[in-house]
Chains A and B, each alone.
Chain A
Amino acid sequence: MSNHPQAIQDVFAKGITCSVAIFLMCVFFWLLGDIALHGLSGLTWEFLTTSPMNAGREGGIGPILVSTLLILLVCMTAVLPIGLGTAILLSEFSHQFEWAGNLIRRSLDVLAGVPSIVFGLFGNAFFCVTLGLGFSIVSGGLTLACMVLPIFIRSTEEGFRGLPADYRFSTAALGLSQTSTLVSLLIPAAMPALLAGFILGLGRAIAETAALIFTSGYVDRMPASLWDSGRALSIHIYDLSMNVPGGDTNAYASALVLVTLLFMINAGAQAIGHRWSSKKVIAA
């Protein structure tokens, strides 16, 4: 049968694809394994709670974890209302001014691709200098918020668009206002997509370095307030590996902490994805 050349092609193709996949898995396991191996030894309770000493070669990352948490808090606090509002507008209310809605969407698309260093420069020029916030956790958090917004808005808008159009018609037919429809029906129904976007944004924020170098600063002691400078975990890793000779051990341990946090965030996102398909009733 003339199937023969096809059969050979099929085997060949399958072989190549599978080898590539295996090769990639090996490389990534190599990378992750390397991090885990070198980082595990430094991962102690003291490491997580004490302050860095000797430029970070010794001591721990306690204050750094606190700074990171605060920066994330500022970031997500800014992202949630603005992102939710924009997503709702784009999916529910922009029909009358379609051109404006499209303009905003395009602008967010480009924003999603802007390099993080550019965000860093912008954050520096706008938040630190023009708004006078200086090198602070607030500056860093707000700069990160600008980066996270496109991701969050995209996911949330999709969530709203996925809701049955019937909902708006049936609430309107009952004479209910749009505000009540949103608050009591649409937002709770779109919650899974909202949470997914939130978590994706969180993951992006925690991994960010370049945007924070020029906005939240380098200081590695415990921040006194939100207006104080603080060092994020990713910056600490960068500093230890590039600027501090002998800082490799702690750099690895910090990297392990960061990757673990990300894995937990990712696991959370996938768990929510599971709940999404089985969620039926929104409690009163």
Chain B
Amino acid sequence: MSQQSALPTPIPFESQAAPLPTLMSAPFISTDNVSVRYGSHQALEDVSLSIRQGGITALVGPSGSGKTSFLTCLNRLTDLVPNCQVTGTIRFGNVDILSPHTEVLPLRRRIGMIFQKPNPFPFSIRRNLAFPLKEHGIRDTATIETFIQQTLTRVGLWEEVRDRLDSPAQALSGGQQQRLCIARALILSPEVLLMDEPCSALDPLSSGVVEDLITSLRNRYTIIMVTHNLAQARRIADQVALFWIQGQTGTLIETQPTRDFFTRPQHILTKEYIDGVRG
């Protein structure tokens, strides 16, 4: 039962976030009362958040506030965690992500993920990119080579590695590895990119390069990014959502377009977090 969807049909805007002053864009991904529980520990409670198509949404907040848990729900990576229960609804276009009828593998092709620590496979650079393509049915060598070149160019690695595509990917520098991981996700032509603190394991120089790359991907992809770095969120995000821990459980405090988030925060916690008093 393949659930291929084109552009989602426009749905009335959810009023969880403060009203958008400008565009009334249809939510691309909408979550409703999403909670995540690991065994007996309630990690995330009642998150309702809408995300527009295109643009970068930053999820910020202290450690343990459930940001990563929320992120991993979106591509059903929570399935891999033992004893994990996710409740609520998540709609991606007209796909109900949490439904047991949803085919997870095609879903994960449309929603890609980049992890905090760059984790290229112990293969050559070429094979790192060819492997996912082949597994998804693209076997023609010429096509694969074209895709590899296009994607590496897209992430700015082509000139750096074109002569050593068969050398081990794990021999690349941290920043290069992370860009390779982004390329690996991009080569499947996803619509959404989930990023879990993509720059935090990198040195400042590489971090800047990766950040520039992410910004350049903005229009073509919908990017949801967890970050600890408020300044980074301010720089590149279109929408910011603040998560916080209450008791032992994470929850969503506030979400707004970036400018409003930083200049006119509605919640006292948000104001304190921005001012650096808390967190």
Contact = CB atoms under 8 A, between A and B. Distances in A.
A187 B167 CA distance: 21
Interface in A86-114: 95-96
B158 interface: no
B105 A95 contact: no
Contact of B105 (A166, A167, A176, A284): A176
Given A173-B113, A176-B105, 17 more contacts: A95-B82, A169-B80, A169-B115, A170-B113, A173-B112, A173-B115, A174-B108, A174-B184, A175-B107, A176-B135, A185-B122, A280-B122, A280-B171, A282-B123, A284-B123, A284-B124, A284-B127
A168 B72 CA distance: 14
A95 B122 CA distance: 26
Contact of B168 (A164, A168, A169, A280): A280
Nearest to B103: A175
Nearest to A98: B82
A159 B56 CA distance: 40
Nearest to A184: B131
Q: How large is the interface on A (under 10, 10 to 19, 20 to 34, 35 or more residues)?
A: 20 to 34
Which interface residue of A96, A169, A185 has the most chain B CB atoms within 10 A?
A169
Interface of A: 95-96, 164, 166-170, 172-177, 180, 184-185, 189, 280-282, 284
Nearest to A165: B80
Contact of B108 (A96, A172, A280, A281): A172
A185 B117 CA distance: 18
Interface of B: 75, 77, 79-80, 82-83, 104-109, 112-113, 115, 117, 119, 121-124, 126-127, 131-132, 135-136, 168, 170-171, 181, 184-185, 188
Contacts of A168: 80
B121 A177 contact: no
Nearest to B75: A173
A176 B132 contact: yes
Given A166-B115, A176-B135, A96 B80 contact: no
Nearest to B133: A174
Contacts of B127: 284
Contact of A96 (B82, B117, B135, B184): B82
A124 B75 CA distance: 54
